[in-house]
Amino acid sequence: MQVLITGASRGIGAGLAQKALILGHHVIGTARNLTSLNERIDWLQLDVTSPKSVQNFAKSMQTRPLDMLICNAGVYPDKGQAASDITAAMFASAFQVNTIGVWDTIQAALPNLRASKGKIAVISSKMGSSARAPGGSYAYRASKAAVTNLACNLAADLKPEGISVGSYHPGWVRTDMGGENADISLEDCTNGLWERFAKLSLDTTGVCEGYDGAPLAF
């Protein structure tokens, strides 16, 4: 299977890419800077905040079929910030990467996904859930709520074309973003997510669930 993972140079993206290689998939990874990267991965430069970069990414993909797109690239600009310190710029950054960037990436890769009736996995977060709203992290939460909504609506529109879409909470993972006090290891996260991806189909399209298979209420 040919898999494309955005933000694959570190964190959850790097873990997903490594697991994909173990599973025998051919991995295309994207990163903003193509230096000191895993040589087993086919790398493409992509900055999801740059329309020109997205256009170049689409050209680089050419006509090769794509079995799975994993939209993983994300930012958390208001992590640890008090509500009074969260700025419009933080909201703009969160939405530009976590929501608009996902939309632009999917649109760029759709011809490749259509060629093989592929799957789209959007790495979201239960922090975007309105049913679970403990406060704080307003920019990040709002952007993840929006991208989950985006994924659910894409699932409806793309199902007739044979393309399935799911959104997934990766858990609170011990990465640079999650921190050393997070709940789960990167290995547990990526093993769980790949189990979920394997079950994504036209029958389950529109699913919102955690890495452990727990359904998420949004």
CATH number where 162 lies = 3.40.50.720
- The answer to whether residue 218 sits within a structural domain is no
Q: What is the pLDDT of residue 201?
A: 98
Residues 6+ apart with CB under 8 A from 12: 72, 123, 170, 173, 175, 186, 189, 190
Domain that holds residue 101: 2-210
Q: Say which DSSP state 147 is in.
A: H
- The answer to whether residue 158 sits within a structural domain is yes
Residue 70 has pLDDT above 90, yes or no: yes
pTM for the whole structure: 0.95
- The answer to whether residue 102 sits within a structural domain is yes
Give CA–CA dist 128/183, Å, rounded: 18
**Average pLDDT score over the chain:** 95
Q: What is the pLDDT of residue 46?
A: 97
Determine the average pLDDT of the residues in 160-187: 88
Q: How many domains does the chain have?
A: 1
Within 13 Å, how many C-alpha atoms sit on residue 13's CB side? 27
Strand ranges across the sheet with 26-31: 42-45, 26-31, 2-5, 68-71, 119-123, 164-169, 208-210
- The answer to whether residue 217 sits within a structural domain is no
- The answer to whether residue 215 sits within a structural domain is no
Contact call for residues 13 and 71 (beta carbons, < 8 A)? no
- The answer to whether residue 139 sits within a structural domain is yes
Q: What is the pLDDT of residue 152?
A: 97
Determine the average pLDDT of the residues in 91-111: 98
Residue 184 has pLDDT above 90, yes or no: no
